[in-house]
Amino acid sequence: MAQFQDLWQKLHIEYDRFARTTSPQHRAIVTEFYQRVWEQGDIYLERQQGWYCVACEEFKDEKELLGDRKCPIHVTMPCEWRDEPNYFFRLSKYQARLEALYQERPEFIQPLSRRNEVLGFVSQGLRDFSISRVNLSWGIPVPTDPSHTLYVWFDALLGYLSALLEPGDAPTLANALAKWFPFRLHLIGKDILRFHAIYWPAMLMSAELPLPERVFGHGFLTKDGLKMGKSLGNTLDPFALVEAYGADAVRYFFLREIAFGKDGDFSEKRFVETVNADLANSLGNLLNRSLNMTHKYCGGRVPTPQTETIQTLTAPVVALARTLGDRLAPGYESLDFAGVCEGILALVTACNKLIDEVAPWKRFKEGDAAAIAELLYTVLEAARLSTYGLSPITPTLSREAYRQLGLVFPDVNSWEHTRWGILPTDTALPQPSPLFQRLPVPA
Ligand SMILES: [Zn+2]
């Protein structure tokens, strides 16, 4: 666990709570929730015999199993023979209500491919799932029968509720639900989608609680086109990656390169090419050349655009920049991070092209100071907007860009900062330095 927290810190990932399901508060929440579901008549004891997939948490018909009694979904794990009394949650009772949920709220499960997987699974008919084991030395005792222990998903999913308790709150369901519930988004790996998209809403329905807005199952990574695994010896060490390239480059690559929700591939060559092209060459170069020219032609102060001499040239870029925030907001909302990056790069590319078209080095010789002032204000402000828009993905780089623009990065994020014209004119600019150091191309 400490390793995860250490990695989040190195990747500059912040969180409000790091919750585990071993706390006494969690036990109290589980007990209260269980009681609600019990009173609905949704929990019953039954002796079950059969082949059981631990990962699916369900009994399998012999005929659906592969050779060596392996689960078709979990082919590396042979099913276990079970012959014991278990408490079951009456998932089958919620079949129709779940199907109605998926129909009425198509956005509930995302992305679409995962939604289709879940619909396909549910349409085959839901089975009740086991929520207890006997003879376990750890875990939370079943409140109505302490000879049983609650087992895995019923307990684990309730970790989302106990994590909502404020420090010092009495551990009651009412306190847990008071402030942050219901959830807007569960962001999870695709392998645990079924538990979040089927079991969890059914449990909440049984407890008569509101459902989350959406469940998003993200994809998995391959490396150089191959599935990663210890046996192949090709696992990707995130610590080594951050150590070698810095957090911003790592964050940027994965969010830019992989359509969020799909599986994606990592190759070091592709990684270096992408971050060099986008962060060093496009964005870094835009800021660096704009600042250098401001030092050279405008005395190192943000110029004041005074005339409309080259407005036919700058106007399209300004229009693009003015609407950037409006285009990024839905991208971030829908977790389309690749689209967000593309939107920003389009503005950056337009700015670099604009500089070449206006050619301030020629205008300087011609003594056209007004055109230079207008151009440089346009590209400096567009660079500010671009780095602000990218700041959820590249926080360190964005703060450095603000510093080089003579600004302090705002403490509180707001779409207000994507308004055009925030960069104050006549701001004294520090000496520019490369925003993003180009990475050496691997051999
Ligand atoms: Zn399975």
The encoded tokens of residue 265 equal: 């591939």
In angstroms, what is the span from residue 100 Cα to ligand 1's centroid?
25
Considering the domain architecture, whether residues 265 and 376 belong to the same structural domain is answered as yes
Considering the domain architecture, whether residues 251 and 214 belong to the same structural domain is answered as no
Q: Report the pLDDT averaged over residues 273-277.
A: 97
* DSSP label of 305: P
In angstroms, what is the span from residue 196 Cα to ligand 1's centroid?
16
Interatomic CA distance for residues 116 and 104, integer angstroms? 15
In angstroms, what is the span from residue 262 Cα to ligand 1's centroid?
22
Q: How many CB atoms lie within 10 A of CB 221?
A: 15
Cα 170 to Cα 16, 29, 174, distances in angstroms: 19, 10, 9
Interatomic CA distance for residues 422 and 298, integer angstroms? 19
Is residue 54 very low, low, confident or very high in pLDDT (cuts 50, 70, 90)?
confident
Q: Which residues lie closer than 8 Å to 424 by C-beta, 6 or more apart?
A: 302
Considering the domain architecture, whether residues 341 and 289 belong to the same structural domain is answered as yes
Asked, for residue 90, whether it belongs to a domain, the answer is yes
Asked, for residue 440, whether it belongs to a domain, the answer is no
Interatomic CA distance for residues 81 and 54, integer angstroms? 10
In angstroms, what is the span from residue 55 Cα to ligand 1's centroid?
5
In angstroms, what is the span from residue 310 Cα to ligand 1's centroid?
65
Interatomic CA distance for residues 131 and 378, integer angstroms? 61
* CATH classification of the domain holding 296: 1.10.730.10
Is residue 72 very low, low, confident or very high in pLDDT (cuts 50, 70, 90)?
confident
In angstroms, what is the span from residue 201 Cα to ligand 1's centroid?
20
Considering the domain architecture, whether residues 195 and 288 belong to the same structural domain is answered as no
Our count of domains for the chain comes to 2
In angstroms, what is the span from residue 54 Cα to ligand 1's centroid?
7
Q: What integer pLDDT is reported at residue 193 of this predicted model?
A: 94
Task: Inform me whether the pLDDT recorded for 353 exceeds 90.
Answer: yes
Q: What integer pLDDT is reported at residue 85 of this predicted model?
A: 92
Task: Inform me whether the pLDDT recorded for 186 exceeds 80.
Answer: yes
Q: How many CB atoms lie within 10 A of CB 223?
A: 16
Question: Please, what is the average pLDDT of the chain?
Answer: 93
Asked, for residue 15, whether it belongs to a domain, the answer is yes
* CATH classification of the domain holding 89: 3.40.50.620
Q: Is 42 or 80 the better-scoring residue by pLDDT?
A: 42
Considering the domain architecture, whether residues 302 and 350 belong to the same structural domain is answered as yes
In angstroms, what is the span from residue 74 Cα to ligand 1's centroid?
5
In angstroms, what is the span from residue 72 Cα to ligand 1's centroid?
7
The range of the structural domain enclosing residue 27 comes to: 2-218
In angstroms, what is the span from residue 68 Cα to ligand 1's centroid?
13
In 309-411, which ranges are continuous DSSP H helix? 311-322, 324-333, 337-358, 360-366, 369-390, 395-404
In angstroms, what is the span from residue 120 Cα to ligand 1's centroid?
16
In angstroms, what is the span from residue 190 Cα to ligand 1's centroid?
14
Cα 326 to Cα 333, 421, 423, distances in angstroms: 11, 16, 19
Interatomic CA distance for residues 398 and 411, integer angstroms? 13
Interatomic CA distance for residues 167 and 243, integer angstroms? 34
Considering the domain architecture, whether residues 189 and 253 belong to the same structural domain is answered as no
Task: Inform me whether the pLDDT recorded for 82 exceeds 90.
Answer: no
Asked, for residue 425, whether it belongs to a domain, the answer is no
In angstroms, what is the span from residue 305 Cα to ligand 1's centroid?
65
Cα 355 to Cα 71, 283, 413, 428, distances in angstroms: 60, 13, 30, 21
Asked, for residue 319, whether it belongs to a domain, the answer is yes
In 91-237, which ranges are continuous DSSP H helix? 95-104, 112-123, 153-157, 159-162, 173-177, 193-194, 200-206
Considering the domain architecture, whether residues 46 and 95 belong to the same structural domain is answered as yes
In angstroms, what is the span from residue 69 Cα to ligand 1's centroid?
11
In angstroms, what is the span from residue 286 Cα to ligand 1's centroid?
51
Using DSSP bridges, classify how beta strands 132-134 and 145-150 pair: parallel, antiparallel or unpaired: antiparallel
pTM here? 0.90
Considering the domain architecture, whether residues 390 and 251 belong to the same structural domain is answered as yes
Q: Which residues lie closer than 8 Å to 363 by C-beta, 6 or more apart?
A: 369, 371, 372, 375
Considering the domain architecture, whether residues 19 and 105 belong to the same structural domain is answered as yes
Asked, for residue 235, whether it belongs to a domain, the answer is no
Considering the domain architecture, whether residues 263 and 198 belong to the same structural domain is answered as no
Is residue 139 very low, low, confident or very high in pLDDT (cuts 50, 70, 90)?
confident
Considering the domain architecture, whether residues 57 and 104 belong to the same structural domain is answered as yes
Considering the domain architecture, whether residues 204 and 255 belong to the same structural domain is answered as no
In angstroms, what is the span from residue 117 Cα to ligand 1's centroid?
15
In angstroms, what is the span from residue 32 Cα to ligand 1's centroid?
29
Q: pLDDT, tens digit, for every residue of 233-254? A: 888 899 999 999 999 999 999 9
Task: Inform me whether the pLDDT recorded for 295 exceeds 80.
Answer: yes
Asked, for residue 401, whether it belongs to a domain, the answer is yes
Whether 85 contacts 95, CB under 8 Å = no
In angstroms, what is the span from residue 73 Cα to ligand 1's centroid?
5
For 221-262, the DSSP string reads: EEETTEE--TTTT----HHHHHHHH-HHHHHHHHHHHS-BTB
In angstroms, what is the span from residue 21 Cα to ligand 1's centroid?
23
In angstroms, what is the span from residue 206 Cα to ligand 1's centroid?
25
Q: What integer pLDDT is reported at residue 310 of this predicted model?
A: 83
